[in-house]
Amino acid sequence: MPKPPKSQPAQKTQSKLNRTSAAANTKLDLSSFESFRDHPLVIPSIQRYHRDVILADAAVKVLVTDLENLNEEHEKSFGRVAFITIEGRVKTEDSFLKKLYIETRESSKSRGITAATLSTLYAGIKPANLLANENSGEDWVRITAQTDHHFADSWNSPADDNSIRVL
């Protein structure tokens, strides 16, 4: 018995690609976060976030462990801890996308928004800040040595790189 032709699934796939392509060519609606998030141009950024968050989560765990080890060594040497609180987390998807939405709205005032623009904005979102406190988490001070360093801009990933910047 002959096999049925495989053109139907190919046609469905092509039809889906055409719809996605057509939707991606529609103007990006920046009137609300929800319309921004649901737009086909933003879907690759969401997918990229999901890939990047795996690496970022692993990096944060290593960083926290390293700081805890350093804290133990400091306590053995000096009789007191260097850090009262050591915590780390990766931005949630909503938090990250809201920041991307704000950057996109600002950027749209001076240029058109394309898939390439979104990729550049995604890569340009600054890494988290390093914070310190000495009173059990009541007051936090931003440590600016990394973010304000005169070479800091050259430490950022290129726009087309899928790496994540983690302190």
pLDDT in tens, 36-52: 999 999 999 999 999 98
What is the number of domains present in the chain? 1
- Whether 24 maps to a domain, the answer reads no
Name the region of 30 (left: φ>0; alpha: ψ -120 to 50; beta: rest). Answer: alpha
Q: Please indicate, yes or no, if residue 10 is contained in any of the structural domains.
A: no
Q: Is residue 18 assigned to a domain?
A: no
> 94 is in which domain, residue-wise?
30-155
Confirm whether pTM is higher than 0.85: no
- pLDDT digits 0-9 by tens, 70-116: 889 999 999 998 888 887 888 899 999 999 999 999 999 998 898 88
CA distances to 6, 34, 78 from 15, in Å:
15, 26, 68
- Three-state secondary structure along the chain? CCCCCCHHHHHHHHHHHHHHHHHHCCCCCCCCHHHHHHCCCCHHHHHHHHHHHHHHHHHHHHHHHHHHHHHHHHHHHHCCCCCCCCCCCCCCHHHHHHHHHHHHHHHCCCCCCCHHHHHHHHHHCCCCCEEECCCCCCCCEEECCCCCCCCHHHHCCCCCCCCCCCC
* Residue 11 within any structural domain of the chain: no
Q: pLDDT at residue 144 above 60?
A: yes
Q: What is the pLDDT of residue 93?
A: 93
Per-residue model confidence as pLDDT tens digits over 8-67? 544 544 544 444 455 556 789 999 999 999 999 999 999 999 998 998 888 888 888 888
Q: Residue 159 — very low, low, confident or very high, per pLDDT cuts 50/70/90?
A: very low
Check: CB of residue 41 under 8 Å from CB of residue 47.
no
- Asked whether residue 165 is domain-assigned, the answer is no
**Does 108 reside within a domain?**
yes
Q: What is the pLDDT of residue 7?
A: 47
Q: CA 122 to CA 46: how far, in whole Å?
A: 10
Taking the CA atoms of residue 82, residue 85, residue 89 and residue 91 in that order, the dihedral angle to the nearest 10 degrees is -100
In a domain, 19, yes or no: no
Q: Do the domain assignments include residue 160?
A: no
